[in-house]
Structure 1
Amino acid sequence: MNETTDPNSQILLVVIIAFYWAMISSWSQLLSRWNDERAKRAAKPARRDGSVEHTSSVDTPLDALREVDPKFDLPAFLHGARRAYEAILRAYADSDIQALRHLVGPEVFDAFGREIAGRQDRQEVLQLTFIGTREAKVVDAFEEYGIAKIVVRYVSDVVSVTRSANDAIVAGDPRQVVAVIDTWTFASGTPSTNRNWMLIATEGH
């Protein structure tokens, strides 16, 4: 038996195929432009301000910082950074607002304050046992608008447990040592011998 093809069906099929290829072409162009833009962004050096290019090398930023402050002592700074890291974590865990006020900048203080207030509202207690800092490494350093800034990456071991008012464990494990990785930014605008480094930004991993 011979079958005849409906002309309307053929026209509809042609329209669908044409629409399909138009969509493919459009997506191809969009993806091509997106890949080009991504490649440009990856190749372009990041900038801390409008005039100085920022690099990922540690030596170069430190050298630039020493040009501003020839007396900058990296070992002394890292020694203080380790002590500050532990002191700030302990003050945060103990809800010691007064200690935090002298160690961190306004934005970090506000963030820590909100977390502490939240724990208090929930009647929770954070028990932190600080085992030690495995690594404290400068990953960036630069001078911006007369302020020296240094970014430090920490790797530490802690035991952290949050308990409710009836001593039930809300988070953490009292028998587990956890490796914590933090990236903290310190800033100071005073001369090197009397620098008072303040924590101005935190980032966890």
Structure 2
Amino acid sequence: MNETTDPNSHILLLGIIAFYWALLSTWGQTQPRQCNDKAKRDDAPTGQRNDSDERRASADTLLDGIRKIDPDFDVAAFLAGAKTAYETILRAYADSDIQALKRLVGPEVLDAFELAISERRDRKETLLLTFIGTSEAKIVDTLDEDGTTEIVVRYVSELVSVTRSVNNEILAGDPEQIVEVIDKWTFASETQSTKRNWMLIATSGE
């Protein structure tokens, strides 16, 4: 997807579950903007910090500004919520569940999703998605300005997606193939909000 949207560039998902929405509603921390860095894995000599230490230090640096505003910001809890949000939004998109998307995404992203869903309906196509799982979700960028906190999360996930015609012919995808998808999603919340309500405001893909 490009900077604000292109939901068709990564085929997205299946039905929203009430449990997911309840979990998202209590996701009481922060959400992302976008950035693109793959961790480099070089052998580290004995006595030097390893890649895991470097990634942790990098994440801590990114979050310094947020922690000045919210000292209790919990990275693990935020990323758990971000992973749930990722799967839930993808499922809602694949299911053409506009009402669910309205609760989870900002206006620009919603407009792009609605357009893609409308075009899919006009073509009488069906998107079937099986979400295998998310192997990675990490914070890669943060921003706090104009009363809004943004956090960018990079996801690496696996899924099976198939687009079928009205005659059930396969137009895209492969029901027998698991595809790796890499996305960066930006979530935003009002900085001074006592109960953070994170919304997806931008997407991009690698």
Cα drift, residue 59 of structure 1: 2.5
Instruction: Give the structure 2 partner of residue 199 of structure 1.
Output: 200
Amino acid at match of 2:168: D
Q: Distance in 1 between matches of 2:181 and 2:194?
A: 31
Report the 3-state secondary structure (helix = DSSP H, G, I; strand = E; otherwise coil) of the residue aligned with 1:109.
helix
Residue 144 of structure 2 contacts residue 191 of structure 2 at CA under 8 Å; is this kept in 1?
no
Aligned to 2:25: none
SS of 1:63 mapped into structure 2: helix
One-letter code aligned to 1:84: A
Which is bigger in relative contact order (C-alpha 8 A, separation at least 6)?
2
* Cα shift at 1:151: 0.2
1:126 aligns with 127
Q: Is the 8 A contact 2:147 2:192 kept in 1?
A: no
The one-letter amino acid of 2:140's match is V
Q: Secondary structure at the match of 2:92?
A: helix
Shift >3 Å, 4+ stretches: 190-193
- Aligned residue for 2:118? 117
After superposition, the C-alpha distances for 1:160-203 in whole angstroms (9 at most, x for unaligned) are 00000000001000000000000000000054651111000000
* CA contact 1:154–1:183 (8 Å) conserved in 2: yes
Contact 2:79–2:137 (CA<8 Å) still a contact in 1?
yes
2:171 matched to which residue of 1?
A: 170
| Partner SS state of residue 139, structure 2 | strand
SS of equivalent residue, structure 2 residue 88: helix
1:43 alignment counterpart: none
Please give the secondary structure, in 1, of the residue aligned with 2:201. Answer: strand
Shift of 1:71: 2.0
Counting only pairs closer than 5 Å after superposition, residues 173-184 of structure 1 correspond to structure 2 as 173-184=174-185
Check whether the contact 1:152–1:183 (CA below 8 A) recurs between aligned residues: yes
Displacement of 1:143 after TM fit?
Answer: 0.5
Distance (whole Å) between structure 1 residues aligned to residue 150 and residue 133 of structure 2: 25
User: Letter of the aligned partner of 1:87 in structure 2?
Assistant: T
Letter in 2 for 1:119: R
1:66-105 alignment, distance < 5 Å:
66-105=67-106
Normalising by structure 2, we get a TM-score of 0.70
| Structure-1 residue corresponding to 2:148 | 147
Letter paired with 2:155: Y
The answer to whether the Cα contact below 8 Å between 2:66 and 2:144 also exists between their aligned partners in 1 is: yes
Instruction: For residue 137 of structure 1, report the CA deviation from its aligned partner.
Output: 0.4
Deviations 1:74-132 (A, max 9, x none): 11110100000000000000000000000000000000000000000000000010000
The 5 A counterparts of 1:182-193 are 182-189=183-190, 191=192
Distance in 1 (CA, whole Å) between partners of 2:135 and 2:121 is 31
Q: What secondary structure sits across from 2:104 in the alignment?
A: coil
Which of structures 1 and 2 has the bigger CA Rg?
1
| Ranges in structure 1 where 5+ consecutive residues have no aligned partner | 1-56
Unaligned runs of 5+ in 2: 1-57
Please identify which structure carries the higher helix content.
Answer: 1
Matches within 5 A, 1:26-45: none
Q: Name the SS for the 1:181 alignment partner.
A: strand
- Structure 1 residue 70 displacement after superposition: 1.4
| SS of equivalent to 2:115 | helix
